[in-house]
Amino acid sequence: MNILVINAGSSSLKYQLLNPETGDLLAKGLCERIGIDGKFTYKPQIAGKQVLDAVDVAMPTHSEAIQTVMNALVDAENGVVASMAEIDAVGHRVVHGGEAFNKSVLITDEVMKALEDCIPLAPLHNPANITGINACTAVMGKDVPQVAVFDTAFHQTMPAKAYMYALPYEYYENDKVRRYGFHGTSHKYVAGRAAAMLGKNIEDVKLISCHLGNGSSVTAIDGGKSVDTSMGFTPLAGLPMGTRAGDLDAGILEFLMNKYGMDIKEMVSILNKKSGVQGVSGVSSDFRDLENAFKDGNDRAGLAVDMFNYGVKKLIGSYAAAMGGVDAIIFTAGVGENSASQRLAIASDLEFMGVKMDAEANAVRGKETVISAADSKVKVLLIPTNEELMIAMDTAAIVKG
Ligand code: ADP
């Protein structure tokens, strides 16, 4: 079975063709500058096939982008499948499913209507995801099943005490203001892998999953269900991120807006684009740059990383308390998979709660590894995330019924 996984943005579209049963990747790539001029990247994973790297292809809309992907995948010389008939289904990453979707769904006219209803919750992302679905229908026809896999769905198991904000109740009832959480596909994937690494049923383990990348979130997973997560109504909440502020005192907004005569648009733009580790350090949103700058004597770069690590550590402590214990802590995504020093800083000095790191085992990158000491009561796991494989697996499961 071959599943095409699509992650559509407003002017870009990432794709992978993979086999969810074997996990084999056949091809991946991306369409960029859709609606501007169009650049196409194609990376077949079969030896001898030609790679295309940001070549010019006119893409006035997402439909031409999908058509370009199809042409490459079935190309007689450099394609990876013989015809479109060998693509069994399409799985779409959809950012926001609101309260309507607690799991992945087969896309129908009714589902499309519900996705439209979720646009106010994710005005930048959901319209692009919908455009991607429509483009696939236009190019592939109505007979190829398409599935929506939501960033928010995994977190729909949170109890009300975790997802409610202490605002007047009508904002929840009338306006759906609540914590939704994001990165759900990643948290779900690594939780499944963690249970396998521990040799336990997922129903029997308490996990804390730390997805630390450009955007970061931490999730408490009890018996395979998300019970709390650090992102909120939007992905602006929780940890300080590359350029996002994370949690802060809402009173600061009024103070700064009054003092500098800013409107809410300017303020929110600062919170999303000029804050986080970039804002604190004044150096970069990339943790590698921060580490280098700190080595060169830039204390603010060091402070930014310290603040981030401290934020993760506090979430680990609070989620262990929330679940009444923890069996394993998972590190994933760009920072979690690659930065041994940050993993060590986050998970050190937690011996009081049964976490003991193994510095030697921790000196590893990007592969599934137990990085805690043999006698650590709580296991610490490095697990590379694979959201595309999770989307393909969900899509296959739904298509097979
Ligand atoms: P996104 O949220 O955009 O998917 P990723 O999960 O790819 O982000 O994470 C990207 C981040 O990972 C980069 O900003 C970079 O700071 C961090 N990163 C990648 N490699 C390393 C490394 N070796 N050490 C520290 N940080 C790293």
Q: Tell me: the pLDDT tens digits for 184-217?
A: 999 999 999 999 999 999 999 999 999 999 999 9
Amino acid at 250: A
pLDDT for residue 347: 98
Which whole number is the average pLDDT over 326-332? Answer: 98
Q: Tell me: the pLDDT tens digits for 346-364?
A: 999 999 999 999 999 999 9
pTM for this model (two decimals): 0.95
Q: What are the structure tokens assigned to 35, written together?
A: 């609606």
Q: Tell me: the pLDDT tens digits for 373-397?
A: 999 999 999 999 999 999 999 999 9
Q: What are the structure tokens assigned to 348, written together?
A: 């050190």
pLDDT for residue 124: 84
Q: Where are the alpha helices (DSSP H) in 8-100?
A: 62-74
Does the annotation count 358 as an active-site position?
no
Q: Tell me: the pLDDT tens digits for 83-130?
A: 999 999 999 999 999 999 999 999 999 999 999 999 998 888 899 999
Nearest CA to ligand 1 atom 21: 338
Which atom of ligand 1 lies closest to the CA of 287? Answer: 16
- Report the 10 Å Cβ neighbour count for 99: 14
Give bridge partners of residue 3 from the DSSP assignment.
Answer: 18, 89
Amino acid at 35: G
Distance (angstroms) between ligand 1 centre and the Cα of 51 equals: 25
| Closest CA relative to residue 94, chosen from 312, 397, 387 | 387
Radius of gyration, alpha carbons of the chain = 22
End-to-end CA distance of the chain: 14
Which whole number is the average pLDDT over 305-319? Answer: 98
Residue 142 has pLDDT above 90, yes or no: yes
d(CA 222, CA 220): 7
Backbone torsions φ then ψ of 97, nearest 5 degrees: -110, 5
| Closest CA relative to residue 344, chosen from 327, 332, 360 | 360
d(CA 96, CA 102): 11
pLDDT for residue 53: 98
Distance (angstroms) between ligand 1 centre and the Cα of 161 equals: 32
Residue 4 has pLDDT above 90, yes or no: yes
Give bridge partners of residue 5 from the DSSP assignment.
Answer: 16, 91
- Ligand 1-lining residues (CB < 6 angstroms): 213-215, 242, 286-288, 333-335, 338-339
Catalytic residue among 56, 143, 151, 349: 151
SS3 state at 48: coil
Distance (angstroms) between ligand 1 centre and the Cα of 288 equals: 8
Which atom of ligand 1 lies closest to the CA of 212? Answer: 6
DSSP track, 119-174: GGGSTTTHHHHHHHHHHHHHHH-TTS-EEEEETTGGGGG--HHHH--SS-THHHHH
pLDDT for residue 335: 98
Distance (angstroms) between ligand 1 centre and the Cα of 205 equals: 28
